[in-house]
């Protein structure tokens, strides 16, 4: 029988959560703030703001950097969620029973 992963792999249509670029604010010095919106079934959950410095390579390059920053944020959130899950899992598992070792010299138990 094939082994089945215990976690779902990301794919389109897996759930109703979404993240998309909601706003772009260009600063006077050329840098920008990209605001990404997080939604569930199109209902807003929150926003993540990713600042990007201008390197003179155009708005598309800045958008790529903003998405890279967003992915870094999401990876960090996944790391923290996984760490918290591991801690809860340790607390949820009953402690292993202590093993009682038999002495090598069983005659020493006789009085």
| Predicted local distance difference test score (pLDDT) of residue 51 | 97
- Hunting for tokens 């390579």 — which residue is that? 57
| Predicted local distance difference test score (pLDDT) of residue 107 | 61
Q: pTM of the prediction?
A: 0.72
Considering only CA atoms, which of 77, 65, 57, 55 is closest in space to residue 24?
Answer: 65
Query: Does some domain include residue 94?
Result: no
Residues of the domain holding 61: 19-77
Query: Does some domain include residue 83?
Result: no
Give the whole-angstrom CA distance, residue 93 versus residue 82: 16
Splitting the chain (111 residues) into consecutive groups of 10 residues, what average pLDDT does each group show?
62 88 94 97 96 92 97 94 92 77 61 51
Q: How many domains does the chain have?
A: 1
| Predicted local distance difference test score (pLDDT) of residue 5 | 60
| Predicted local distance difference test score (pLDDT) of residue 1 | 47
Query: Does some domain include residue 52?
Result: yes
């Amino acid at each position: 029988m094939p082994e089945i992963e215990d976690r779902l792999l990301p794919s389109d249509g897996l759930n109703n959560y979404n993240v998309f670029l909601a706003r772009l604010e260009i600063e006077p010095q050329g840098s920008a703030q990209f605001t990404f919106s997080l939604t569930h079934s199109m209902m807003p959950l929150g926003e993540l703001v990713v600042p990007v410095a201008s390197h003179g390579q155009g708005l598309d390059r800045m958008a790529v950097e903003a998405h890279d920053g967003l992915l870094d944020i999401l990876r960090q959130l996944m790391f923290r969620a996984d760490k918290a899950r591991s801690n809860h899992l340790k607390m949820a598992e009953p402690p292993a029973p202590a093993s009682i070792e038999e002495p090598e010299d069983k005659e020493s138990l006789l009085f």
